[in-house]
Structure 1
């Protein structure tokens, strides 16, 4: 068994000495984020920024015309797409669509693991969006982004694991290392990206079932419940008594025996989100 503290120290040293780099946001994502934060930025100005990236432009148009967001008229230009989706959603989408590009392996050996983590993140993002949809103080698109980035700390771990044969040969040990170290590394990445504290708390606490938020529920609560709902959907029932003891479930106000995938319309919404990000 690998000493996780020793592995973390090796990983931290590799990051500090540029032997491995944490994922960075492309310039277009930084510009969009800054433009949205200036509030007075128009849809046309934001569309002009996105237009500098052809792949991102195509994906944004695809999202604007997806079943989840489409209107009566087909959108065929970025200005209309930004106007339809709204600048706050566009900011989240730009960052989340880039996340899909980040989840890439440099070798075939780890490609399946990268894809597994991405697909799990997309499903949890879909559940998070549904859970936040009926709240007054949380934004459902921000909740979706929280789900997408909750396990971002796994990325440098997987990249670093490529040079550690003992991890590549032991899937269970690799998973243990990811669970042990991903929260700290994910927090560090989002701090580097200047994310708001409400989102930085997500990767730091997404495995902490004892997490207790102050005041009303937050995005960590949403992601924690989304992960458990995802497990129920994929692995079968989870003991309702155990769920009722988890603070996040109490905050979200969801009955432990309720599987939200069975609520009318929810399955379609979740499928549309998954198709949007995995297709």
Structure 2
């Protein structure tokens, strides 16, 4: 006996976002193209790490989502979270399991995108201004979905790399570029010029006599270090927001990035295996995806005003959005990997320690002695520590390392924030 195929009605489809953006004809066509699936209690519907491009919608029942860090979320069919796709980020960050007899939909993303693009579609700005969004959980879900939609359709609003950094990067690719040419570019930004001269005269790079010009600073630092420091100094202006509500979030994000950057710089010096300025830049960039997320949050006041909901969106999307930003800027793969893996505390790979490992360990050092450390693995559980060959680190030994390097960390932080 063949299985009876049940198709969803337009009324069922209208319950979900972004299907609610389709017109009646599109809903009818979609309904005929898909079917309602059923799962018994305990059945796994979706595996963590799956990369199949489809969207999962819960019609009836209860689901349990288990994240990569062990966090469990339960979703009922009548909850606000069920109005949007379940575990939609690819590769999947959750294992999805039925906690009761469950009915659900599986819709290929290409089919859905074709229908959405057939009409005028929707934008993040339009959805973000929806006056009907009053529930923070629903707002979080909507914001996450819009970010994913914009990311998958190349509509994501990405921050632009400051002009002086772009021009210096372009000049670095020209074999005829010398210190004078670089200085002419850097000097178009007086703030960065001042920071570069200060850096060259700081104890981190100082020579016998102080330098008093941009060109002299570049000669002392070298072209590669100059390039990385210009990038580092230019990034500061991106950590900004028009929203008074989000200013504190952006300030904390900048301070965290600076601290991780400074510790990455010092650990790179201690290990002797990494370029310290590249480590400095890696630490500053590891959360760059959150800059874009906070910009989107300006349109979702319910999320912006709820630290827990905002933190959840940032936890889920900081990696893929950060990597997309760095790809758009033309950054090299090891920095892109940092944005993707910076919070993968138990990351395993077969090679030697890399900059992602360095940033993972640096981040954990910033949390030592704080409440956050209670929810994170200990240093002896983190594979990155062994790959960096920093010795048998424990919180106590790490504090000794930080105490010993306190002056260098303070100097690196001062260089970034001057």
TM-score, normalised relative to structure 1: 0.90
Deviation digits for residues 73-107 of structure 1, max 9, x if unmatched? 22210111111111111111111111111101112
- The correspondence for 1:51, drawn from 183, 187, 190, is 187
Deviation digits for residues 140-164 of structure 1, max 9, x if unmatched? 1101100000000001111111111
2:62 is matched with none
**2:272 matches 1:272:** no
Deviation at 1:33, TM superposition (A): 1.5
Matches within 5 A, 1:197-236: 197-232=333-368, 234=370
**2:390 matches 1:262:** no
Residue aligned with 1:153, SS: helix
- Structure 2 segments unaligned to the other structure (5+ residues): 1-136
> Alpha carbons of 1:120 and 1:71: their partners in 2 closer, same or farther (altered >3 Å)?
same
Distance 2:207 2:282 in 1: 26
Matches within 5 A, 1:178-193: 178-193=314-329
- The correspondence for 1:139, drawn from 264, 272, 275, is 275
2:68 is matched with none
1:86 is matched with 222
Contact in 1 for aligned 2:257/2:283 (Cα 8 Å):
yes
Deviation at 1:63, TM superposition (A): 1.9
**2:301 matches 1:162:** no
> Alpha carbons of 1:259 and 1:232: their partners in 2 closer, same or farther (altered >3 Å)?
farther
Distance 1:106 1:22 in 2: 16
Distance 1:190 1:87 in 2: 21
Deviation at 1:260, TM superposition (A): 3.8
Distance 2:295 2:411 in 1: 30
Residue aligned with 2:185, SS: helix
1:108 is matched with 244
- The correspondence for 1:246, drawn from 378, 382, 385, is 382
Deviation at 1:175, TM superposition (A): 1.1
TM-score, normalised relative to structure 2: 0.61
Higher RCO, 1 or 2 (CA under 8 Å, sep at least 6)? 1
1:7 is matched with 143
**2:253 matches 1:117:** yes
1:74 is matched with 210
> Alpha carbons of 1:83 and 1:265: their partners in 2 closer, same or farther (altered >3 Å)?
farther
Deviation at 1:109, TM superposition (A): 1.4
Deviation at 1:46, TM superposition (A): 1.2
Distance 1:253 1:240 in 2: 21
Distance 1:51 1:122 in 2: 24
Distance 1:207 1:159 in 2: 21
Residue aligned with 1:60, SS: helix
> Alpha carbons of 1:240 and 1:157: their partners in 2 closer, same or farther (altered >3 Å)?
closer
Distance 2:234 2:399 in 1: 27
Distance 1:103 1:142 in 2: 20
> Alpha carbons of 1:208 and 1:237: their partners in 2 closer, same or farther (altered >3 Å)?
closer
> Alpha carbons of 1:122 and 1:241: their partners in 2 closer, same or farther (altered >3 Å)?
closer
Distance 1:181 1:109 in 2: 21
2:164 is matched with 28
Residue aligned with 2:232, SS: helix
Q: Which moved more, 1:174-183 or 1:45-54?
A: 45-54
**2:171 matches 1:171:** no
Deviation digits for residues 112-152 of structure 1, max 9, x if unmatched? 11110001001001111111114454211101100000000
- Structure 1 segments unaligned to the other structure (5+ residues): none
Structure number with higher strand proportion: 2
Deviation at 1:35, TM superposition (A): 2.4
Q: Which has the larger radius of gyration?
A: 2
